[in-house]
Structure 1
Amino acid sequence: MFRLTKSTFSLCRFSSIAASRNPRFLCTDPNKTDEPFKVEEAETVNVPPPPSEKLLVLGGNGFVGSCICREALGRGLTVASLSRTGRSSIQESWANNVIWHQGNLLSDDSWKDALKGVTSVISCVGGFGSNSYMYKINGTANINAIRAATEEGVKRFVYISAADFGVANYLLQGYYEGKRAAETELLTRYTYGGVILRPGFIYGTRRVGSMKLPLGVIGSPLEMVLQHAKPLGQLPLVGPLFTPPVNVTAVAKVAVRAAMDPVFPPGIIDVYGILRYSQQKSYKSSP
């Protein structure tokens, strides 16, 4: 009896409160029926899907660039490439999924159309020759690309540079001066979104015309030995010669991560950093 009385009291109390808040909730007139609740339809808002990540690889048909394109496609990214020759000669299925652009970073501005809709850039542009030629290819061409990417609002820029090799820096003066000039420009323009990778000797299966050069035969054993000999790199004059080689797949993996992972630290990543990041678990790119 007590439980029934208590339940009845609770029900009456709930009804009175509800009626005070909404007169239509409970009707006391016996000649009228309760009006049903009127639920207004929520306004439909067209929310656009998250923007897709589009990566532009400068020099995407080269040894390192082609590996980067393949790695990025494996991450589900939209991948474009810009180079002087355009489409790669590689006859593999993944190459059909790359948007190939032809252009010269040292000439007119027609190549800038390739930056439309791009969220990140990875530059593998570089070359050898006379000092003046090496400075233009390694320095001026990349500086032009960095400035154009800034103007287009590209969020992140990764530059494949080169480790210091002591005496070699003097023998290839234009090469290294161009590289360092491009690095300075990148760190100035992209304080929070610029990453510089400084690998040493990059090995892997390299194509030269119709031939394939298995550089891993030399590079892989050297990497296994020298990656644990970091203190030797501090020796005067000869120290840089102990810089360990790195696999092209590792460089590609870290470059793509640096271009697409917003928490990847900006700045200069040496060969030991490249080896460390390449061994970490893969990140998941944004949808």
Structure 2
Amino acid sequence: MSAAKRLVVCGGNGFLGSRICRYAVGRGWDVTSISRSGEPKWENVTSSATPPPWAHKVSWERADIFQPEAWAPLIKGADAVVHSMGILLEADYKGVISGRESPIAGLRKAFSPAAGRAAPPNPLRRAPGDELRPPESPAQLTYEMMNRDSAVLLAREAARERVGAFLYVSAAGGAPVLPERYILTKREAESILTSEFPQMRSVFLRAPFMYDSSRGLTMPLAAATGAGALFNRATGGIFGSILGSGGVKPLKANDVAEAAVEALSDETVRGPVEVPQIEELANKGWRKSML
């Protein structure tokens, strides 16, 4: 009997990351999650505050992505690594939700020019012992740092450990309400991973808007996004560049997670994976689970 596949998920306590952990556990994989807070606050990612049964089979580790000395040993011996991290807005969005910051102030930060921000260190040119921790101020957590550089940093360590597959949760597109740099940094990450780590099978899961009934707010947003996708299709896609992800069919978070696990298990899958292929992979994974 072959040994269980070993998977490390950075951002495994998030909305999508936790579901990737779930489906990997369902296949009998040995799963480790790495995040700053460790185990999820389950009421934030599921409909219950109680950990689901599969959660006890995941090793929930705490580490800062910008301090690889803390988490690099956890990657040793991994068959695959997932980067499921990033930010939608360059603002303290948790502060906005909790009332510590007004939504107007948060949007102002998000759309403020990038020129005034300090340039983040290049993770590929980082010398041993150099500090790469993001500034303590949430306002300085940039798209470049979270959507691009953290993925490059993780991929560098994975390549050093000769990890076979690396899955980066990208995006189907931007959105009219988001700065253009959101999707630009996603695409830059894809390009860097392809060129700098050719020996590693990189998969770029270009996920659309994801929804789940456990997050009530996502349901009406998914309906609106679905209407945008129908409109985009009816008009021949001429508004696709304007609508971004708002013109792409939304998917259930569980389907995207199952597709991610199936993509990692299928050696033929590499490079960008668009929504139609995500659906195909999810269906393929579902059929396997029924056998």
TM-score when normalising by structure 1: 0.70
The code of the aligned residue for 2:6 comes to K
1:158 touches 1:255 (CA, 8 Å); kept in 2?
yes
- The 2-side partners of 1:155 and 1:283 are apart by 25
The answer as to 2:274 corresponding to 1:270 is yes
Task: Decide whether aligned partners of structure 1 residues 272 and 233 sit closer, same or farther in structure 2, where only a CA change above 3 A counts.
Answer: farther
CA distance in 1 between partners of 2:217 and 2:267 (Å): 34
Structure 2, unmatched stretches of 5+, are 43-50, 91-109, 115-139
Q: C-alpha separation between the residues in 2 aligned to 1:67 and 1:253?
A: 8
Kindly provide the amino acid, as one letter, of the partner of residue 159 in structure 1: Y
Match of 1:196 in 2: 204
Q: 1:55-111 CA deviation, whole Å, 9 max, x = no partner?
A: 111100000011111111111111110111112232222111101111111134221
Structure 1 residues 58 and 234: CA distance shift in structure 2, 3 A:
same
The Cα of 1:231 is off from its aligned counterpart by 6.0
Give the fraction of aligned pairs with identical amino acids, expressed as a percent: 28
Q: Establish whether residue 279 from structure 1 lines up as the match of residue 286 from structure 2.
A: no
The question of whether the paired residues in 1 share the 8 Å contact of 2:83 and 2:169 is answered with yes
Across the aligned residues of Structure 1 and Structure 2, the Cα RMSD in angstroms comes to 2.7
Q: Name the residue aligned to 2:238.
A: 235
Letter of the aligned partner of 1:200 in structure 2? P
> What code does the residue aligned with 2:73 have?
D
**Could you say which residue in structure 2 is the equivalent of 1:6?**
none
Contact 2:35 2:61 in 1 (8 A): yes
Aligned to 2:3: 51
Which protein shows a greater Rg? 1
Tell me whether 1:216 sits opposite 2:219 in the alignment: yes
TM-score by length of 2: 0.70
Alpha-carbon distance, 1:193 to partner: 1.3
2:168·2:205 contact (CA, 8 Å) conserved in 1?
yes
Amino acid at match of 2:237: Q
For residues 79-98 of structure 1, the aligned pairs below 5 Å read 79-90=31-42, 91-98=51-58
Shift of residue 176, structure 1, vs aligned partner: 2.2
CA–CA separation in structure 1 for the residues paired with 2:59 and 2:169? 21
More moved, 171-180 vs 212-221:
212-221
Shift in Å at residue 144 of structure 1?
0.1
* Change beyond 3 A, Cα 1:192–1:144: closer
CA distance in 1, matches of 2:199, 2:230: 29
Distance 1:96 1:106, change over 3 A: same
SS in 2 for 1:118: coil
CA gap 1:53/1:88 in 2 versus in 1, 3 angstroms = same
The 2-side partners of 1:216 and 1:63 are apart by 14
Q: Which amino acid aligns with 1:257?
A: E
